Amino acid sequence: MPKSPEVVAPPSHGGTRAGSGAAHGRVGNGHRCWRERKDDDVMLLVVSGDVRQQNFNESGAAIMERQTARRTPSSVTQMPEFPPACVNLAKELTARCRARALQLTDDEILSITQDLESVIENLCDYIGRVPTSALGSNAYTDGAVKALSVRGFLEDDMLTNAVNSMPNRKYFHDSNMPRLVEFLQGMYHESDEFGGHLFSSLPEVSEYIEPLYDALFCPLTNQVMTNPVLTESGVTYERRAIEEHFERFADSSENVICPVTKMPLQSKTLMNNASLKSVIAEWTMRNEAMRIRIARTALSLSSTEAMVLEAIHELKSLAKLRGKNREQMHKIGVTRLLARLLDNHNVQIRHSALELLCFLVEDEEGKDIIGKTKAIARTIKLLSTNGTDERHAAISFLLELSKSQLLLEDIGSTAGSILILTTMRINDSDDPIAAQKAGEVLKNLEKCSKNIKYMAESGYLEPLQSHLVEGSEEMQMEMVGYLAELIQEQELTIDINGSTSGVLIKMVHSCNTVARKAALDVLVQLSSHRPNSKTLVEAGVVPVMVEELFIRKVDDEPLSYKAMAAAVLANVVESGIDPDNTVVNKEGHVLTSKYSIYNFVHMLKCFMPDELNLSIIRVLLALTAHAKPLAAVVSVVRENHRGHSIVELMSSWTEALGVASTRLLITLSAHMGHTIAERLCKTQGQPRRLVRSIFRAGRAAITERHVAAVTLLSRLPYRNVSLNLALVQEGAVPAILRGIEETGSGAARMTTSRHAAPYMEGLVGTLVRLTATLYNPDVLKAAMDHDFASVLTALAGAAGSGEVQRLAAVGLENLSYHSIKLSRPPPPPEDEPRPKKMTILKRLKDARVHNHSSSKNPPLNVCPVHRGVCTPATTFCLLEAGAVEGLLACLENDDARVVDAALGALCTLVDDRVDVEKAVVALAGQGAARRVLAALRQHRGNSLWHRCFSVVEKLLVHGDDVCVREVTGDRMLPTALVSAFHRGDANAKQAAESILRRLHKMPDYSATYMSVEF
Model confidence pLDDT, tens digit, residues 741-785 = 888 776 544 545 688 889 999 999 999 999 999 999 999 999 999
pLDDT at 469: 84
For the cut 60, the answer to whether the pLDDT of residue 145 exceeds it is no
**Alpha-carbon Rg of the chain, whole angstroms?**
54
What pLDDT shows up at residue 221?
92
Mean pLDDT to the nearest integer, 691-709? 77
In this predicted model, what pLDDT tens digit does every residue of 180-209 receive, in sequence order? 444 444 444 443 443 444 445 656 555 555
Q: How high is the pLDDT of residue 662?
A: 92
pLDDT at 685: 82
Query: What per-residue confidence (pLDDT) applies to 943?
Result: 84
- Cβ neighbours of residue 196 closer than 8 Å, sequence gap 6 or more: none
List the beta bridge partners of residue 33: 46, 160
Helices (H), 364-428: 364-371, 375-382, 388-401, 408-413, 417-426
Using a 10 angstrom Cβ sphere, with 0-12 exposed, 13-18 middle and 19 or more buried, the burial of residue 752 is: exposed
Q: Where are the domains of the chain?
A: 32-176, 217-279, 461-539, 542-683, 685-786
Judging by beta carbons within 10 Å of its beta carbon (0-12, 13-18, 19+), is residue 92 exposed, middle or buried?
A: middle
pLDDT for residue 206: 54
**What pLDDT is stored for residue 438 in this prediction?**
92
Average pLDDT, the chain: 77
Please, which pLDDT band fits residue 31 given cuts at 50, 70 and 90?
A: very low
- pLDDT over 70 percentage in the chain: 72
Between residues 519 and 642, which one has the greater pLDDT?
A: 519
Maximum distance among all alpha carbons in the chain?
186
The average pLDDT across 638-657 equals 83
pLDDT band at 81 (very low <50, low <70, confident <90, very high): very low
- Judged against a pLDDT cut of 50, whether residue 151 lies above it is answered with no
Please check the confidence at residue 163 and state whether its pLDDT lies above 60.
no
Query: Minimum mean pLDDT among 132-136, 321-325, 548-552: which range?
Result: 132-136
What is the enclosing helix (H) or strand (E) of 601?
helix 594-602
Give residue 210's pLDDT: 62
| Cβ pair 558, 601 in contact under 8 A | no
Q: What mean pLDDT do residues 415-420 have?
A: 91
pLDDT value for 327: 92
pLDDT of residue 99: 62
Q: Are strands 160-162 and 32-38 parallel, antiparallel or unpaired?
A: parallel
| Least trusted range by pLDDT, from 64-73, 124-133, 589-598, 712-721 | 64-73
pLDDT of residue 160: 31
Taking only the tens place, the pLDDT of each residue in 214-262 is: 888 999 999 989 999 999 888 999 999 999 998 888 777 778 889 998 8
- CATH number given to 461-539: 1.25.10
Does the pLDDT of residue 977 top 80, yes or no?
yes
Q: What's the pLDDT score for residue 868?
A: 85
Strand partners, 42: 37
The rounded percent of the chain whose pLDDT value lies above 90 is 27
Whether the domain at 461-539 and the domain at 542-683 fall into the same CATH topology = yes
Q: Edge to edge, what strands does the sheet with 41-47 contain?
A: 41-47, 32-38, 160-162
pLDDT of 700 > 80? The answer is no
Please check the confidence at residue 634 and state whether its pLDDT lies above 50.
Answer: yes
Least confident residue range of 46-60, 267-281, 338-352: 46-60
CB atoms within 10 A of CB 919: 24
Confidence of residue 426 (pLDDT cuts 50, 70, 90): confident
- Output the pLDDT for position 378: 93
Which position has the higher pLDDT, 170 or 540? Answer: 540
pLDDT tens profile 457-511? 888 888 888 888 888 888 888 888 888 777 776 666 677 777 888 888 888 877 7
The pLDDT value given to residue 103: 59
The candidate with the shortest Cα–Cα distance to 459, out of 492, 483, 490, is 492
Answer whether residue 354 shows pLDDT above 70. yes
Query: Under CATH, which number does the domain 217-279 receive?
Result: 3.30.40.10
What are phi and psi for residue 868, nearest 5 degrees? -160, -175
Q: Which of 682-686, 846-850, 867-871 has the lowest mean pLDDT?
A: 846-850
What's residue 843's pLDDT? Answer: 52
DSSP 628-639: HHHHHHHHHHHH
Q: What is d(CA 936, CA 951) in angstroms, rounded to the nearest whole number?
A: 11
Tell me the mean pLDDT in the region 346-357. 93
Q: What would the CATH number be for the domain defined by 542-683?
A: 1.25.10.10
Contact 315, 300 (CB under 8 A): no
Q: Which residue has the higher pLDDT, 399 or 460?
A: 399
Average pLDDT over residues 856-876: 78
* pLDDT of 895 higher than 80: yes
pLDDT over 50 at 524, yes or no: yes
Go through 335-360 and write b for each residue having 16 or more CB atoms within 10 A of its CB, e for each that does not. Answer: bbbbbebbebeeeebbbbbbbbbbbb
Give pLDDT, residue 157: 34
Mean pLDDT, residues 617-628: 90
